[in-house]
Structure 1
């Protein structure tokens, strides 16, 4: 793998030189948009909305619509707002991972210590493993300040970007179900259904079936054939009563 960032993790007064590698990769197929008539690629143009003419790249500026007009920003404005460029992932405090709501998580990066920082890296890794804690830190990647969680995984320190609080939309606009009454027997069966489906989390049991099936279709069409794809048939409850639907769900699982 090719590293995407080089810098240090700041652990108190200890600097741990590390390389950062992308910890994720896409599982979706890379499809191109084509003209149906001759299968040539579609090229997108930057067009003036008013004149409908293409705009040269060097004539494009960025602006923010404020009240009734656009405020144009130049290179200097972006430089002024950008965080100070630093190659330090500065640990600010430590928390329990379970305290972080999953809605905050973005993407993960693997770290690898530079030769001169291997012992300090090992110390931080083992301290995180033993304490069960994760570090909260900030770092600059591609001129943008990022908030992240530093946590251990299978002998490697992982840096997982998380969203800032202001990036999470307020739930006040979502209609809630606080006025709905659930009976005791409905709750008992609901809990029993959860218990029946509960198992140890195993990520390998979940596959990107859509991409696999789509690739089968592509390969078959390339040979002039039509792939046979198994369609999932959702089970339907026989009635509208919630309690009866829950009971049928329990029975269906037992009979599987």
Structure 2
């Protein structure tokens, strides 16, 4: 399993060298866009609308748009210094809380933690302590250039880092439109709904759920492949360079000059009568 990050998790005086690995993967099927006319893949290029030309990576700088079309430019050196300053800090567990105190809306992405060299005993200590207390740890850490709020918990005997949103990243429910304050439902309707919930209540088994759309799309793709209903993207024709263009122009000019050049006049042949007159 690929290691995404190496660091130290600490709580109190206990330091745990760990490695972090992605716990989930995106199984979405990525579809390309083709030009309908020639069936070639569409390219997306970075183009400056003012200069009207393609822009290379080394010509691009980062900036923050604080108002419409107003930017604050940020140097790579400044950003690198900030990343280094935050990245050098150990991941310190600040608090311990109960898992059910955090609403699922805060959860973002999961990562597995494994002990790094020499960290097995401390790793086991934290895992056992969390298990026996029923608590999870709340910490801050740097992931992909962002200071991330996270919780550390246990999942199937493995420590997991669960990144969570900051409070200001969760939108206010008061901004959701058309949510009724109260509804006029009678007791019979409520009892029927509760009965239905009870009938559908079961133990959560993630294996029973699957992405029906992705499965159907994969089957469709495989069916088209087997029937050889496929296309090949056409490669762009290489444009002749300036030298080739110049040579073509010169050759065309030479051919035209030869064609237009007047033929030399042939001398008139003397007739037999003229010859006789000359000899008499």
Q: What interval of TM-score do these two structures reach, taking the shorter chain for normalisation?
A: 0.7 to 0.9
Cα deviation digits, residues 98-144 of structure 1 (max 9, x gap): 11111111111111112411111111101111111110011112222
Q: Distance in 1 between matches of 2:201 and 2:168?
A: 34
- Report what 1:254 is aligned to: none
1:75 maps to 2:76: yes
Q: Deviations over 1:202-229 (max 9, x none)?
A: 1111112211111110110112289xxx
Following TM superposition, the consecutive aligned residue runs of length 4 or more in structure 1 with deviations greater than 4 angstroms are 79-83
Aligned counterpart, 2:108: 106
> 2-side partners of 1:213 and 1:88: how far apart?
46
What TM-score results when the alignment is normalised by the length of structure 2?
Answer: 0.75
1:113-128 matches, within 5 Å, as 113-128=115-130
**1:180 is matched with which residue?**
183
Q: Does 1:31 align with 2:34?
A: no
* Alpha carbons 1:136, 1:150 under 8 Å: kept: yes
In structure 2, how many angstroms separate the alpha carbons of the residues matched to 1:28 and 1:87?
A: 35
Deviates more, 1:159-168 or 1:29-38: 29-38
Instruction: Tell me the number of residue pairs that the alignment of Structure 1 and Structure 2 aligns.
Output: 226
Deviation at 1:79, TM superposition (A): 4.3
Per-residue displacement from partner, 1:134-176 (whole Å, max 9, x unpaired)?
Answer: 1001111222211111000111100111111111111221132
> Tell me, which stretches of 5 or more residues in structure 2 are unaligned?
230-280
Q: Larger deviation: 60-69 or 213-222?
A: 60-69
- Matches of 1:214 and 1:18 in 2, distance apart? 39
> Does the 8 A contact of 1:93 with 1:137 survive in 2?
yes
State the match for 2:243 in structure 1.
none
SS at match of 2:96: strand
Match of 1:204 among 186, 207, 225: 207
Check if 1:215 corresponds to 2:221.
Answer: no
**Could you say if the C-alpha distance between residues 205 and 214 of structure 1 is closer, same or farther in structure 2, counting changes exceeding 3 Å?**
same
Normalising by structure 1, we get a TM-score of 0.81
Structure 1: stretches of 5+ with no match in the other structure = 227-256
Residue 244 of structure 1 corresponds to which residue in structure 2? none
**In structure 1, distance between residues paired with 2:41 and 2:116:** 44
Q: Distance in 2 between matches of 1:217 and 1:172?
A: 43
